[in-house]
Amino acid sequence: MDPSMNHAIHLPRDSKPRSRILISSKNPFPTYTYHSPLQHTEGTPSTSRTSIKSSTSSTSTTPSQHSIYTNLSTDRHHKLHHPANFYHFHGSKTDTENHLTCNPTFSFQSLPDVLNNNDQQLSNDLMMVVNINNVKNKAKDLSKNSPARLISFILVVSVFILALIAVSLMVALIIVASGQEAQDVYKKKLFGGEGERVEEGLRNEFDGMRIRESIRWLSQNVHVAGTVENMDVMERIEKEMMALGLEVTTQEYDVLLDYPDYNNPNTITYCEDKSAKCHVLSSGLSEVMGSGELAGQEDDPRALVQWVAYAKNGTITSNVVYVNYGTLEDYQYLSNKSVSVKDAIVIIRYGAVFRGDKVELAAEHGAKGVIIYTDPADYAPNLGKDKKTFPDNIFLPKRGAQRGSLAKVDGDPLTPFYPSLNYTLRTETEEGLRERNILPNIPVATIGYEDALSIIKLMDGTQVASDDWIGGLNTTYRFTGTQKITLTVNSRAQVRKIKNVMAKFQGATDPDKWVLLGNHVDAWVKGAIDPNSGTATLLEAARVLTTTSTKLSWRPKRSIVFCFWDAEEYGLIGSTEFVEQYLKPLQRKAIAYLNVDNINGNNTLSIKAVPMIYRLVVESAKKIPHPNPEDVEKGLDTLYDGWQFYNPRGPIAGDKSIPEVRNPGSGSDFQRFISYLGIPVLDLKMTCAPYANYMLYHTMYEVPWTTEHLIDTTHQVFSAVGQMWMELTRNLADSLIIPFNVEDYAIKLDDFVKQTDVTLKVYEVDVGMGRPYYKEKMEMLKDSIKRFGNVAVLIQNVVEGVNNGHVGVTIPQINTINSILQHIEKNFILEQGIYPKRAFYRHTVFTSSEHDEYAGKVFSLIMDPVFEWDAAKKANNPQKQKEWLNLIDLGFTKLQYTIESAILGMDLSDFNSVLFGLKVLMQKYDFEGDSNFYGIPVPGKYVCWAELAIIQMITPNVSFLGHLSGILAGLVYWEVPFVKKIVGLVEGVVANVFGDILNSFNQRETRDNPTDGQRRRNQQYNGQNQFNQGRRPYGWNFN
Residues classed as catalytic = 568
Could you tell me if 479 and 323 are in contact, meaning their C-beta atoms sit under 8 angstroms apart? no
Residue among 290, 310, 311, 308 at smallest CA distance from 299: 290
Q: Which residues contact 404 (CB under 8 A, 6 or more apart)?
A: 308, 309, 355, 446, 524, 569, 698
Residue among 896, 922, 688 at smallest CA distance from 801: 922
Other Cβ atoms closer than 10 A to 239: 10
CB neighbour burial string for 624-653, b if at least 16 within 10 angstroms, e if fewer:
bebbbeebeeeebebbbbbbbbbbeebbbe
Could you tell me if 450 and 398 are in contact, meaning their C-beta atoms sit under 8 angstroms apart? yes
Could you tell me if 443 and 487 are in contact, meaning their C-beta atoms sit under 8 angstroms apart? yes
Give the integer Cα–Cα distance in Å for 640 and 624: 8
What single-letter amino acid sits at 230? Answer: N
List for the chain the helix, strand, coil content (%; round to 5).
45, 15, 40
State the angle between helix axes of 328-336 and 860-874 in degrees (0 to 180), rounded to the nearest 10.
Answer: 10
**DSSP for 377-418, written as a single string:** HHH-TTHHHH---TTSSSSPPTT----EE--SSSS-TTSTTS
Backbone angles phi, psi at 88, to 5 degrees: -70, 140
CA dist 253 to 239, 422, 453, Å? 20, 8, 42
Give the integer Cα–Cα distance in Å for 148 and 516: 70
According to DSSP H, which parts of 413-465 are helical?
A: 430-435, 449-458
Give ∠ CA 350-355-357 in degrees, rounded to 5.
125
The helix (H) or strand (E) run that includes residue 937 is strand 936-939
Other Cβ atoms closer than 10 A to 1019: 10
Residue among 667, 655, 911, 895 at smallest CA distance from 781: 895
> Would you say the C-alpha torsion 891, 895, 901, 904 has a positive or negative sign?
negative
Q: Which residues contact 197 (CB under 8 A, 6 or more apart)?
A: 552
Could you tell me if 87 and 111 are in contact, meaning their C-beta atoms sit under 8 angstroms apart? no
Give the integer Cα–Cα distance in Å for 477 and 376: 13
Ramachandran category for residue 507: left, alpha or beta (phi over 0 → left; psi -120 to 50 → alpha): beta
Residue among 573, 699, 580 at smallest CA distance from 257: 573
Give the integer Cα–Cα distance in Å for 103 and 1039: 51
Could you tell me if 112 and 63 are in contact, meaning their C-beta atoms sit under 8 angstroms apart? no
Give the integer Cα–Cα distance in Å for 630 and 72: 66
